[in-house]
Amino acid sequence: MVCARRYCLCARNVSQYFPIYVWLLAVRVQHFQRRYRGGYKVNNYFRTDLVLDYRSQIHAIGSGAAPCFTNVSNPPPTGNPVPANCVGHFDSEIRRWDLLANAHLDLGTWDGFTPYIGAGAGVSWTRTNQSVNFTLNGFPCQARCGLITNGGNVVTFGDFDSNQSSMTYRFAWAAMAGVAIAMTDHAQLDVGYRFLDLGPITGISPVNGTSVTQRVRANEVRAGVRYMID
């Protein structure tokens, strides 16, 4: 039996023959970010704002060597896998919107410098499109399957070629700290740090095409001009 685009192995203990991995040798990432922000100053110590972040399509592609199995050296159930040098191709696109409501505490002003701390909470929307495919000499990898006679079970490797699309909404939160530097009576230079937790997203592993979930966190250093309207 031949299983197209599928890694198969006729062996008694398949778990020991599972060293599928990929080195991403060439990766290209395209990305930009837009931010829309408006707020209200309650008093000299307390401010609130609403921030909408749009992160454009993050497009990452890569390829690398991956061992795959195309045959067995002896009939089952004692046959050992015969590896070949496959090429893994990974393509990932991610788009995201984040909307957070924030509260800031200004700690006082000294010589035009106003340090502050803050926190925020909201929602993150993420859309992903990912695929991983393996080829051998330019063709989809194939492997020979067989029946393990002493157990009566067909043992195969999973199909590592995979495609996945998803759209998710997740709770997001942030913590920040920084300093505002007075430029004019109405304008301040705002320099700060923000830790952002956007919750988990699900994608596919470039290693073996299986579904994986990972929490998305970001450490950001930001600078901008804050303008106060009377």
Measured distance CA(52)–CA(66) in Å, rounded: 41
Q: Which residues of the chain form beta strands (DSSP E)?
A: 2-4, 28-30, 33-41, 46-72, 81-106, 113-136, 139-140, 142-144, 147-148, 153-154, 162-182, 187-204, 211-227
All structural domains of the chain, each given as residue ranges with its CATH number in brackets, are 2-227 (2.40.160)
Range from 184-188, 198-202, 205-209 that averages highest in pLDDT: 184-188
- Computed over every residue of the chain, the mean pLDDT equals 71
Once rounded to an integer, what is the mean pLDDT over residues 44-65?
Answer: 79
In which band, very low, low, confident or very high, does the pLDDT at 156 lie, cut at 50, 70 and 90?
Answer: very low
Report pLDDT digits (tens) over 159-168. Answer: 556 777 778 8
State the pLDDT at residue 94.
78
Which residues are CB-neighbours of 168 under 8 A, at least 6 positions away? Answer: 125, 126, 201, 202
State the pLDDT at residue 208.
55
Lowest mean pLDDT among 44-48, 109-113, 203-207, 217-221: 203-207
* More confident call, 220 vs 77: 220
State the pLDDT at residue 1.
29
Measured distance CA(2)–CA(21) in Å, rounded: 23
Three-state DSSP class for residue 156: strand
State the pLDDT at residue 95.
81
Lowest mean pLDDT among 70-74, 89-93, 128-132, 201-205: 70-74
Neighbours of 229 (CB within 10 A): 6
- Nearest CA to 196 out of 215, 178, 213, 214 is that of 215
Question: pTM score, two decimals?
Answer: 0.63
